[in-house]
Every structure is written in structure tokens, then in C-alpha cells.
Structure 1
Amino acid sequence: MKFLIFFVALLIINANAELTCEERFGVSLCNECQNEVWDFGRDPLGCGFFSNLFNEIEHSSFFLKYNLTVYNEIIKNSCSADFSCSYDEGKKIWKKVEEKCANELTVYIDWSANPSLLDHTVVSSYATILSYYSAVPEHNSICHKTSSGELCGIEAIKPLVDWLKKEIPEGNVQFSYDFKYVYKKDGTRIQIPMELVGYCGECGKNMIKEYKTWMDNFSVPDVILNNVFGNNLEALQGYFSCPLIL
């Protein structure tokens, strides 16, 4: 399985509501693609579940100090809020992004690279499409309660945090967008152990069910399947299997 929440959520270049589009992308004037993903990135409701959730995590102390108290509270609040999203609602959004970001979506991305070295506009284009396609199964995965009553968004992250505290106790890390590596502040790259990525528990099995049902009923956007997964549906499905197939 993949880690619940992070595989998709870490793709999202979220917008701090206090920043302008130009400040977020570091430009003097946003182009139509940047404006398009910026507008959707500020929508905290419905299919914008990811943007709101990760924006809060990104601006908390989690990535700096692995603060699970803050992280857990964000997950609980997000899962207790009303949620409503359909495939058609999400599709209306990502189709607009495909139109406005046509050039950006032709740019090659090394998803294992240090995120700080990648083009935010290009990554944001893919992220918006993928997040709006996956909003329903990811919400249902993160907010699923285990037999012990714990939310999977909280339960599934514990082994990762334990490993990070031992491997990089100083914190301040970034994950590659394919979630194979973690980057330290100085740029050092460390591979994430396969036993963490490939663990299959109650949360993983529920996630597999949610994503399998969703992908069986609704086609993956072509630009994601072709440009991110090399036009290989099996490669995409491998991220939602026990054990994980990479």
C-alpha cells in the first residue's frame, strides 16, 4: 500500500490564503495556468478536500518537528467536517486545468527528485488534476475508522514518524512526490524503507478497496496515466496493492 494521505497530498502545491498568486509562484504576473490552479487551490470545500487538509499540515509544525499532536487534530477536524464530491464535479475542474495548463502538462517531471528543485507550476498542474480525481477515495481512506476506533489518517502515519525520528531527528524534511525518498534540509536523499511503504494492515486494505472501486468505475485522467505512470495502468494500480508493487 502507499501511505495514506501523503502520496497524493504531497503533490499539492497549496496556497497560503495570505499570499497572492504571484507571491506563491514567484512571478510578477501569474499566467492563465497559475491562475487556474491557484483559484482551485483556495477552495476548502467538497472536492477541494486535499487542498484544505494539506495546507493546514504544511503550515503546522509537523514537517519541522514531527508534531503529531497538531497533525492528529488537523486530521480529526478535516474528517469531522461535511464532505461532498462526485466524479463529475471533480472532472469539471480538472478539465479546465488540462485546457489552461496544456503546455505545463507536456513538461517531463522526475517524481523522485527533490521537490524544492522542481517547477511549482508544472507540479501544481498535475497535482490539481490528480487530487480532484482522487478526492473521494482518498477522503474515504483517510477518514476510515479502524476496529479500534482510530482514523486511518492518524494510524497509518505512526510507523513513518517513528522511523523519521530515528533517521532524521532534526526534522525539516521533504518527501519526493513518488514517496520513495525523503530529503534532508541540506539536500541529502534517503530512501524510505520498503517495509514501511509496503505494509498492509486494516487501513491499507480499506484503501485498496476504495481505490479499486473508484478506478473500476471512473477512468483515470489520460494526462495522469500517460505522463505520470507511463501509460501503464498496472503501474498505477501497483500503488494500491498488498504488497506494494513498484
Structure 2
Amino acid sequence: MKFLIFFVALLIINVNAKLTCEENFGVSLCNECQNEVWDFGRDPLGCGFYNHIFYKIEHSSFFPKYNLTAYNEVITNLCSLDFSCSYEEGKKIWQKVEKKCANELAIYIDWSANPSLLDHTVVSSYATILSNYFSVPEHNSICHKTSEGELCGIEAIKPLVDWLKQEIPEGNVQFSYDQQYVYKKDGTRIQIPMELVGYCGECGKNMINEYKIWMDKFVVPDVILKVFDNNLEALKGYFSCPLIL
């Protein structure tokens, strides 16, 4: 399997309700792509579930010092809310992004690179499409309860956080978007152990099932397939146990 998408994607979409579009992207005037991405996900109970969860966790004390108490509260509270999102709803959003961000989506991205060095507009364009297509299976994965009653959004990241506390106790980390590396604040790159990336447990098996059903039922957008060299089986391998890279 892989880590829950939202955990790594926290570094993809910089959601800050106090910023304007221009402040977020560091420009004097947002272009149509930036405006489209900025308008994404205003409904926390619908397909904007990602947006809402990113904002809550980003503004907690989790990333600076791996505060799981704050993190667990966010996941528990959001999973207690009603959730409604359909493939068609998400499709309307990502098709707008595909149209207005065509130039940005044509730019090559090294997904192993330090996220802070990548073009925020380009990455956000991909992230908006990714999160809208996968919103339903990701929500179901995060909010699935184990046989012991633990939410998978909480249970699944414990091994990773334990490793981070030992390897980078100072916190303030960033993950590469291919989930192969973690970057320290000074830019040092450390490879994430395969046993963490490929961890298989009750939550992992549920996630695999959620994503398999979703991708079998609904066509994967071409933009997402492009990241996997237009190979659907390679994409499905990303949600496998053991992980196929």
C-alpha cells in the first residue's frame, strides 16, 4: 500500500484561509489557473473534504513536533461529520482545472524533488485533480475503523511517525510527492524505509480495496495516468500490498 494520500498531500496544497490567492502563489495577480485552483474545495463536507482536513492539520501543531494529540483530534472530528461527494461532482471540478491549467499540466515534474523547490501552481493543479478524483476512496480509507475501533487515519501513520521521531526529532519535515523521500528543513534528503511505504495491515488492505473498486468503476483522468507513464496497472500497483514501484 502507500501512506494515506492526504498525509503527504498536506505538503501539496497550501490551504490558508487568511491568505488571498495572490499571497498564496506569490504573484501580483493570479492567472486563471491559479484562481481555479484557489477556488477548489470550499465545502468541507463534500468533495472539499481534502481542503478542510489539510487546513485543520496544517494549522495544528502536528508538523513542527509530530503532535499526534492535535492530529488525532482533527481526524476524529472530521470523520464524525457527514460526507457527500460523487464522481460526477469531482469530475466537474477537475475538468475545469484541466482546461484552465493546460499549460501548467504540460510541465514536467520530478516527483522525488524537494517540494519547496517545485512550482506551486503546477503542483497545485495536479493536486486538485488528484484529490477530487480520489476524494471518496480516501475519505473512506481515513475514516474506516479497524476491528479494535481505531480510525485508520490515525492508526496508519503511527509507524511512520515513530520513525520520524527517531530519524528527524526536530520536526519540520517535507515529503517528496512520490513518497520515497523526506526532506529536512536544511534540504537534506533521507529515503523512507520500504517497510514503512509498503506497510500492509488491516487499514492497508481496506485502502487497497477502496481504491481498486473506485478505479474499476470510474475512469481515471488522463492527467493522473500521465504521472504513471499512462500505465493503469502501474497506478494500481501503487495501491498494492506489497507496494509495486
* Same structural fold, with TM-score higher than 0.5 when normalized by the shorter chain: yes
**How far has the Cα of 1:81 moved from its partner?**
1.0
**How far has the Cα of 1:11 moved from its partner?**
5.8
Match of 1:32 in 2: 32
Amino acid corresponding to residue 209 of structure 2 in structure 1: K
Match of 1:210 in 2: 210
Q: CA RMSD in A?
A: 1.2
TM-score by length of 2: 0.97
Match of 1:141 in 2: 141
- Say if 1:7 and 1:57 are closer, same or farther in 2 by CA, change over 3 A: closer
1:50-199 correspondence to structure 2 within 5 Å: 50-199=50-199
Moved over 3 A (4+): 5-8
Q: Is the 8 A contact 1:11 1:127 kept in 2?
A: no
Q: Is the 8 A contact 2:10 2:58 kept in 1?
A: no
Q: Give the secondary-structure state (helix, strand or coil) at the position aligned to 1:40.
A: coil
Match of 2:240 in 1: 241
Bigger mean CA offset, 143-152 vs 36-45: 36-45
For residues 155-182 of structure 1, give each alpha carbon's deviation from its aligned partner in whole angstroms, at most 9, with x where no partner exists: 0010000000000011110001111100
For residues 74-116 of structure 1, give each alpha carbon's deviation from its aligned partner in whole angstroms, at most 9, with x where no partner exists: 0001111110000000000000000110100000000010000
Q: Is the 8 A contact 2:41 2:47 kept in 1?
A: no
1:5-44 correspondence to structure 2 within 5 Å: 5-6=5-6, 9-10=9-10, 12-44=12-44
Whole-Å separation in 1 of the counterparts to 2:11 and 2:90: 17
- Say if 1:7 and 1:67 are closer, same or farther in 2 by CA, change over 3 A: closer
Structure 2 residues without counterparts, runs of 5 or longer: none
Q: Give the secondary-structure state (helix, strand or coil) at the position aligned to 1:111.
A: coil
Whole-Å separation in 1 of the counterparts to 2:118 and 2:59: 20
Q: Give the secondary-structure state (helix, strand or coil) at the position aligned to 2:134.
A: helix
Bigger mean CA offset, 13-22 vs 135-144: 13-22
Q: Give the secondary-structure state (helix, strand or coil) at the position aligned to 2:190.
A: strand
**How far has the Cα of 1:7 moved from its partner?**
6.0
Amino acid corresponding to residue 230 of structure 1 in structure 2: D
Amino acid corresponding to residue 114 of structure 1 in structure 2: N
Q: Is the 8 A contact 1:8 1:130 kept in 2?
A: no
For residues 135-173 of structure 1, give each alpha carbon's deviation from its aligned partner in whole angstroms, at most 9, with x where no partner exists: 000000000000000000000010000000000011110
Q: Give the secondary-structure state (helix, strand or coil) at the position aligned to 2:102.
A: coil
Q: Is the 8 A contact 1:8 1:131 kept in 2?
A: no
Amino acid corresponding to residue 159 of structure 2 in structure 1: P
Q: Is the 8 A contact 1:7 1:178 kept in 2?
A: no
Bigger mean CA offset, 31-40 vs 11-20: 11-20
Amino acid corresponding to residue 192 of structure 1 in structure 2: I
Number of aligned residues: 245
For residues 18-41 of structure 1, give each alpha carbon's deviation from its aligned partner in whole angstroms, at most 9, with x where no partner exists: 100000000000000000000014
- Say if 1:84 and 1:130 are closer, same or farther in 2 by CA, change over 3 A: same
Q: Give the secondary-structure state (helix, strand or coil) at the position aligned to 1:103.
A: helix
**How far has the Cα of 1:45 moved from its partner?**
3.0
Q: Give the secondary-structure state (helix, strand or coil) at the position aligned to 2:48.
A: helix
Whole-Å separation in 2 of the counterparts to 1:123 and 1:141: 23
**Paired-residue identity, %:** 86
Structure 1 residues without counterparts, runs of 5 or longer: none
